[in-house]
């Protein structure tokens, strides 16, 4: 009888701690979810320029539109060694899949790391790249193709480079460009340059020979064909122009 009573007491104590732990977990403000279920994701990163060892980059962020009524989005990033801060993001537009696009431009050293912080209706969600954080070399988030900025462009040797996710060995990467504000257009193939070390991404490049007098009417976008699918980077519907280059 004493043994049975002892077992009952121990079971009751275990159940009590389980209930306390459950209440603590539910009532906490920080929410950890699986990556596939998270309402916030790094969409892509645009490395815009650098001066000495300080980088300027814009992080684009994808938010589930219906995840909260009140939203605040931040890039939580390192500024100097051991020094982190939150830079608020601003709303850009609604994407075709009914998600929202936000962006924040941040500054930091060439070794800068960052994560995405999303506060929705009082709950805090993170995208920290599965615990590894992001760096300026992480160009692709949710996209499969992204144009890169290059420096020292001239009309006669205007180079266009893109980062693509290596979804299959057989692929086509092209730029579609116009010299007359899209009254007409041409396509040109990009060529493989190299694979980014330790990632599933590749760099592709083409160099165009243009005239100085057409540069104000020059616009372009990039498309990537692989496995029967076509992925576009048209700068969120704005396309790119001669001013899309690295800043110093």
pLDDT digits (tens, 9 = 90+) for 140-175: 999 999 999 999 999 999 999 999 999 999 999 999
The pLDDT of residue 36 = 52
pLDDT in tens, 182-206: 999 999 999 999 999 888 999 999 9
Weakest-pLDDT range from 37-41, 116-120, 226-230, 231-235: 37-41
pLDDT tens digits, one per residue of 24-65? 232 233 444 444 578 999 999 999 998 777 889 999 999 999
HSE-CB for 85 with a 13 A CA cutoff: 12
- As given in the structure block, the two tokens for residue 86 are 């939150």
Residue 91: pLDDT band (50, 70, 90) is very high
The per-residue pLDDT of the chain, averaged, comes to 86
Q: Hey, is 31 helix, strand or coil? A: coil
Looking at residue 107, its pLDDT comes to 87
Residue 247 contacts by C-beta under 8 Å, 6 or more apart in sequence?
A: 48, 49, 56, 149
In angstroms, the first-to-last Cα distance of the chain is 82
Comparing 80 with 97, the larger pLDDT belongs to: 97
Q: What is the pLDDT of residue 75?
A: 97
pLDDT above 70 as % of the chain? 85
Bigger pLDDT: 36 vs 119:
119
Quick check: 8 pLDDT over 50?
Answer: no
Q: Minimum mean pLDDT among 3-7, 124-128, 129-133, 178-182: which range? A: 3-7
Q: What is the pLDDT of residue 54?
A: 82
% of the chain at pLDDT higher than 90: 73
CA–CA separation, 146 and 139 (whole Å): 7
């Amino acid at each position: 009888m004493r043994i049975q009573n002892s077992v009952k007491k121990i079971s009751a104590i275990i159940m009590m701690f389980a209930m306390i732990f459950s209440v603590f977990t539910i009532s906490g403000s920080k929410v950890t979810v699986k990556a596939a279920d998270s309402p916030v994701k790094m969409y892509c990163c645009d490395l815009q320029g650098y001066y000495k060892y300080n980088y300027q980059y814009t992080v684009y962020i994808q938010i589930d539109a219906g995840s909260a009524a009140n939203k605040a989005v931040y890039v939580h990033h390192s500024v100097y060694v051991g020094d982190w801060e939150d830079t608020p993001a601003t709303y850009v537009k609604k994407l075709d899949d009914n998600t929202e696009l936000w962006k924040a431009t941040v500054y930091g050293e060439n070794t800068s790391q960052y994560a995405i912080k999303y506060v929705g209706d009082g709950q805090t969600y993170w995208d920290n790249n599965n615990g590894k954080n992001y760096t300026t070399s992480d160009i692709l988030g949710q996209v499969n193709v992204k144009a890169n900025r290059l420096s020292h462009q001239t009309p006669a040797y205007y180079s266009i480079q893109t980062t693509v996710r290596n979804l299959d060995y057989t692929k086509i990467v092209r730029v579609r460009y116009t010299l007359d504000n899209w009254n007409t257009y041409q396509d040109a193939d990009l060529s493989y340059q190299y694979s980014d070390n330790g990632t599933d991404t590749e760099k592709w490049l083409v160099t165009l020979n243009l005239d100085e007098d057409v540069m104000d009417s020059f616009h372009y976008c990039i498309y990537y064909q692989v496995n029967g699918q076509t992925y576009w980077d048209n700068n969120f519907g704005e396309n790119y122009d001669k001013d899309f280059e690295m800043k110093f």
